[in-house]
Amino acid sequence: MAYKKHKNTHKGAALLFGIFSLLFFVLLFRFVQLQTTGKADGQVLAVKAEQKYEQKRTIEAKRGTILDRNGEVLAEDTPSYTLVAVLDPKMTTDPKDPKHVVDPDRTAQKLAPLLHMEVSEVKSILTKKAKQVEFGAQGRNISYELKKKIEALKLPGIGFIRDTKRFYPNGTFASYVIGYAQKEEDTGKTAGAMGIEKSLNRYLHEKDGYVFYQSDKEGFRLPDTKEKIVPPDNGDEVYLTIDQKIQTFLEDAMNQVEKQYKPKKIIAIVVNPKTGEVLAMGTRPSFDPNKRNITNYLNDAISYPYEPGSTMKVFTLAAAINEGVYNGNELYRSGSYRVGKNEIRDHNKVGWGVITFNEGVQRSSNVAFAKLVKEKLGEDRFLQYLHRFHFHEKTGIDLPGEGIGNILYRYPIEKLTTAFGQGTSITPIQQIQAATAIANDGKMMKPYIVDRIIDPDTKKVVMQNKPEVVGEPITKETSEKVLDILETVVTSEKGTGRPYQIEGYHVAGKTGTAQIPSPKGGYLTGYENYIFSFLGMAPKEDPKLLMYVAVQQPKLSYTETGAAPVSMIFNSVMKNSLQYLNIRPASEETEKTTSSKKGIELSSYHGWPVNEAVQDLKAKGLQPVVIGNGEKIAAQLPSAGDETIIHERVVLKTDGTATMPDLNGWSLRDVMKAAELLQLNPSIKGSGYVITQSIRPKTIVKANDYLIVELAEPDKWKDRINQQKEKKDEKKKQPVD
């Protein structure tokens, strides 16, 4: 029995020895395998270990900035914050320094007015059964200023998550051009959704960078280890052809008309006709891209085709002159013109008797243009010119969503109504492109709105747009003759364009009154149910600006015509823009004589004693204005070598302390001289001559100060001056204590 027990014990020991031996050899084999191959289950162990302790941190990239032609920011990324509230009491380890919301009532009362929410609404969020909560839309995209106000309340448990948001500093400003960008829900990245933000998203788009490093189990970087950096790829900077100043003139004018006349639509475009650069483009209704209160997702300036009305006559006239079939002194009978079973009538139904074709243009006679096409130019040749002016195709402007009109040219009556802008539809940007040929010696320029794209890190030019001639539908001689006739539309007592006269400048242009199709067929009726427009350019001698304005269905008084709201926009924007661009008005001397007299070439007064410079300028018939209390001249505008006209202001800045001059009665052009010399940020309201200024005369100023100037037309300015004189006289009469 004992032997048997002893024998079993030996067998058990042998079995255990065998098992442990087998395990030993398996482990030994595995160890040798790992040492020789460095792999386990097909994975490299060193890499796996490195990955386990490798940390990855994001380096945020910045979406590209959109700027105007002069580098003024129109859209950029700015820091934003999301408000959060910690509700979990476990987050507080020290009762004296709570990290969660301890008093929901007090917290709600403090936060509600800052978030523009009801107290009860905030409290309901703060009493949820959650560890951490946010405050919905009102708690997102919080500005740095509001963040500071909330932090100053020192509310326990209230904190912020930092983020970036797209910011549009000018609000409602070329909104359909710039568009807007928004966060994508699936990626959290910002992407363009409209306008330039959308069409150039591939350039503006950013790509985050990363830093990789080895860490300990707590996540801290291990000393003496290398880090791998993938730098962020910031979005490119996009410079537009838009000029912030001219766009501001346009936005202000459209706001005024929208408030006063409440039209269904306003469309306005300003371009440089020599290059095709769009300097300003705006529509109403519009929206603030920061708020996205959008009612219309189309840019009507490029997407809205409609019957242009009489502005189309510009191109019919150009075609007839170019073909040598136009005789402005030839007589015809106005009023009506029968074409088969149809009758074409002038807008006053009865006409003006027998008149010349030139007078027909001035009066905007439909009959004159129907006869030009039917009897002189020919319908086939006219169609060729419609194609030469590219009315059959898109302009190709670098904005998304461009539309195209429709040339109705099937029936005989359609061919003639197209001559004066009825039946056929075109877009505003098509009219602008065609009109560049009138203002640019017959060369038609493609409109464009993106000037250049720059890599913000290397400053390398990624893309540079250049002016593009897309056709020469007419000759230089024809364009000059058309300009001469269009000027009489504005200057003649018989002209429909008289409301568009601008003091000091020669304007050439054509009015338009377009009918609006009725949903029930035919056209809408009623005094206001039209699209009133004006296509104009200035100065006529060598147009530097070309502008189209259209106002649809304004609320007019019985004494007003459609020209009232249209001219309010055109005249203000055109005059302010010409002055801002230092385009001199026509000299009174050149208007009185047929021979042109050369202006006064300005000398350099740099380093001159103030008294000597003033005396020299007065002797030349100029008006010197001295800024500062120094003894010698440090700068001047106009610059040395520039030509000036008699009585023009010459602003001289001394080497002493800079002081603000009295701007009363100054023109916008003179104000801009002073602002440039003083390095001020001017904000201009109105048009005409200065009646108020935000900085008192003789006040010491420094660079980047803001100067707000209000201008008024000459009659209002004189009234204001008289009122100021009366107040001074009354003060003199008062007894002195």
d(CA 85, CA 138) in angstroms, rounded, equals: 14
Q: What is the pLDDT of residues 554-580, one digit of tens each?
A: 999 888 999 999 999 999 999 999 999
Identity of the amino acid at 151: E
- 89 prior amide bond cis, ω within 30: no
Ordered by start, the domain boundaries in the chain are 2-51, 58-240, 245-586, 595-732
* pLDDT attached to residue 598: 47
* pLDDT attached to residue 163: 81
Residues annotated as catalytic are: 310
Half-sphere exposure of 673 (CA within 13 A, CB side): 24
Encoding tokens for residue 219?
A: 């996540």
With H, G, I as helix, E, B as strand and everything else as coil, classify residue 56.
strand
* pLDDT attached to residue 32: 62
Distances (CA, A) of 56 to 210, 212, 225, 227: 7, 5, 14, 10
- CA proximity to 75, closest of 163, 197, 244, 198: 197
Residues of the chain with pLDDT under 70: 1-13, 25-26, 28-55, 213, 215-225, 587-599, 686-688, 713-737
* pLDDT attached to residue 715: 52
Identity of the amino acid at 694: S
- CATH superfamily, with its number, for domain 58-240: Penicillin-binding protein 2a (Domain 2) (3.90.1310.10)
Burial label, 727 (beta-carbon count in 10 A; 0-12, 13-18, 19+):
exposed
With H, G, I as helix, E, B as strand and everything else as coil, classify residue 594.
coil
pTM: 0.72
Q: Which of the four CATH numbers 3.40.710.10, 2.60.40.10, 3.90.1150.10, 3.20.20.140 does domain 245-586 have?
A: 3.40.710.10
Strand 66-67 relative to strand 237-240, pairing: parallel
Distance of CA 736 to the CA centre of its chain: 55
* pLDDT attached to residue 735: 40
Distance of CA 221 to the CA centre of its chain: 47
Distances (CA, A) of 420 to 172, 315, 480, 567: 35, 9, 21, 21
Fold of 595-732: Trypsin Inhibitor V; Chain A (3.30.10)
Distances (CA, A) of 220 to 53, 223, 226, 437: 10, 9, 13, 68
DSSP 700: B
Query: Which residue has 């002209």 as its token pair?
Result: 495
With H, G, I as helix, E, B as strand and everything else as coil, classify residue 43.
strand
Distances (CA, A) of 375 to 53, 358, 368, 396: 89, 16, 10, 35
Encoding tokens for residue 88?
A: 């979990």
* pLDDT attached to residue 641: 78
Q: Are 435 and 546 in contact (CB under 8 A)?
A: yes
